[in-house]
DNA sequence: TCCTTATTGAAAAATATTATCAATAAGGAA
DNA sequence: TTCCTTATTGATAATATTTTTCAATAAGGA
């Protein structure tokens, strides 16, 4: 389901500011902070306010249309999210973020931890860091 | 190895401010933000500046004596880190953070993702969220 | 005890986020 | 299409957070 439908369904309006933020996220390959989304909107000569960026991100987050991705250093940015449960793999060089599915690979771990700690595990945050294929090639060239 | 030794070894000084920050983290059961560490130092009538809190956290992080823990909403706080590779399990109710070891449970997943994406995976961020044993009891009482 | 200098803390500057509110425009109704 | 209602916007101000600057201090070896 796309943004417009979701908005209508929730009785919300499909506005210019929201469309711009969504487009910028759709075009991006790396996680974007509110500030950098705002910067890109200026570069595109789209006249939206920084405040609308924050508000739209909050909205998109509620609709699970975007997801927060943490960097090694900086705290987080947002990327478009496919429907369903996904995690992200981030390139340390070009920052590109790609999705992957956790599958059942975590269930063993989760069960073990529940046993060991007595916690009732409800959710998890998993992110991988590494070098994407392109940046691996880049490295070779310099070697 | 404790803080003092690490500092000496690196030619750094064991100062009051650094000791205070370290003590506060040692006493804490939940992840603390720079601001909240500063607040606790005030409550303890320890006269250290907020800036030193930031600087000390940076230092402790370099020494791997602390680790960043992300909340569901708020971005992150710091907890004391045991030596070695660990992850954290955070209670959604009392915010308590406990460590656990990933073991080999992730290696299958990591290999699969490397295959599928072509990324060279170098590191990962894994955190679990849930209810700790104490807060599970609390819930029962209200039922 | 003295000296060197890493470290501190106060204040200012820079950055990021949230609240306020009159003006605007989205989108259904006529 | 045009009108109306009101959700939404964006400018501004208010907060909060983080970093920089720099003279004064204190850690710790000589």
CATH number assigned to the domain comprising residue B48:
1.10.10.10
Please report the pLDDT score of residue B30 as a whole number. Answer: 97
**CB A62 under 7 Å to nucleic chain D:** no
**Do A40 and A21 touch, CB atoms closer than 8 A?**
no
Between chains, do A109 and B102 touch, taking CB under 8 Å as contact? yes
List beta partners, residue A4. Answer: none
Between chains, do A124 and B125 touch, taking CB under 8 Å as contact? no
Please tell me whether residues A31 and A69 are part of one structural domain. yes
B30 touches chain A (CB under 8 A): no
Please tell me whether residues A113 and A99 are part of one structural domain. yes
Please tell me whether residues A72 and A90 are part of one structural domain. no
What the block records as the tokens of B44 is: 């303890």
pLDDT in tens, B66-75: 999 998 888 8
Task: Work out how many domains chain A is built from and give that number.
Answer: 2
Please tell me whether residues A24 and A60 are part of one structural domain. yes
Which of residues A62, A82, A102 is at a domain's end?
A: A82
Nearest in space to B77 (alpha carbons), one of B133, B35, B128, B118: B35
Residues 6+ apart with CB under 8 A from B46: B16, B20
Q: How big is chain A by its Cα radius of gyration, in Å?
A: 18
- Say how far apart CA A13 and CA A5 lie, in whole Å: 10
Q: Which of B33, B57, B109, B123 to mutate to test the interface with A (most CBs of A within 10 A)?
A: B109
Please report the pLDDT score of residue A102 as a whole number. Answer: 82
Opening angle at CA A136, ends A131 and A139, nearest 5 = 120
Q: Which nucleotides of D are covered by protein (CB under 7 A)?
A: 7-12, 16-21, 26-29
Please tell me whether residues A34 and A68 are part of one structural domain. yes
pLDDT in tens, A86-117: 999 999 999 999 999 987 778 889 999 999 99
Please tell me whether residues A76 and A132 are part of one structural domain. no
Instruction: Write the CATH number for A138.
Output: 3.30.1490.190
Please tell me whether residues A136 and A76 are part of one structural domain. no
Secondary structure (3-state) at B42: helix
Minimum-distance nucleotide, CA of B76 to C1': D17
Please tell me whether residues A18 and A48 are part of one structural domain. yes
Q: Which of chain A's residues have a Cβ under 8 Å away from the Cβ of B131?
A: 119-120, 122
Q: Which domain holds residue A69?
A: 1-82
Q: Which of chain B's residues have a Cβ under 8 Å away from the Cβ of A125?
A: 70, 125-129
Q: How big is chain B by its Cα radius of gyration, in Å?
A: 18
**Do A97 and A90 touch, CB atoms closer than 8 A?**
yes
Cα separation values, A112 from B34, B95, B131, Å: 33, 21, 15
- Say how far apart CA A60 and CA A34 lie, in whole Å: 13
Please report the pLDDT score of residue A142 as a whole number. Answer: 60
B133 touches chain A (CB under 8 A): yes
- Minimal C-alpha gap between A75 and chain B (Å): 7
pLDDT in tens, B48-84: 999 999 999 999 999 999 999 998 888 889 999 999 8
Percent of chain A with pLDDT over 90: 80
Query: Among all chains, which residue has been given the structure tokens 């429907």?
Result: A83
Cα separation values, B50 from A36, A77, B28, B29, Å: 28, 26, 18, 21
**Do A99 and A87 touch, CB atoms closer than 8 A?**
yes
**CB B17 under 7 Å to nucleic chain D:** no
Please report the pLDDT score of residue B116 as a whole number. Answer: 95
**CB B50 under 7 Å to nucleic chain D:** yes
Please tell me whether residues A74 and A47 are part of one structural domain. yes
Please tell me whether residues A5 and A74 are part of one structural domain. yes
pLDDT in tens, B74-129: 888 999 999 989 999 999 999 999 999 987 788 889 999 999 999 999 999 999 99
Cβ pairs bridging A and B (under 8 Å) = 114
**CB B63 under 7 Å to nucleic chain D:** no
φ/ψ (deg, to 5) at B14: -90, 100
């Amino acid at each position: 389901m796309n943004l417009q439908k979701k908005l209508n369904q929730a009785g919300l309006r499909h506005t210019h500011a929201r469309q711009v933020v969504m487009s910028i996220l759709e075009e991006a390959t790396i996680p974007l902070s509110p500030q950098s989304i705002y910067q890109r909107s200026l570069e595109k000569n789209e006249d939206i306010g920084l405040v609308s960026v924050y508000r739209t991100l909050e909205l998109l987050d509620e609709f699970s249309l975007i997801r927060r991705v943490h960097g090694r250093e900086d705290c987080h940015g947002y990327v478009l999210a496919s429907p369903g449960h996904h995690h992200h793999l981030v390139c340390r060089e070009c920052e590109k973020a790609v999705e992957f599915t956790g599958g059942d690979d975590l269930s063993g771990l989760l069960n073990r931890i529940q046993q060991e700690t007595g916690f009732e595990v409800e959710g998890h945050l998993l992110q991988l860091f590494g070098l994407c294929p392109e940046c691996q090639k880049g490295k070779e060239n310099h070697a």
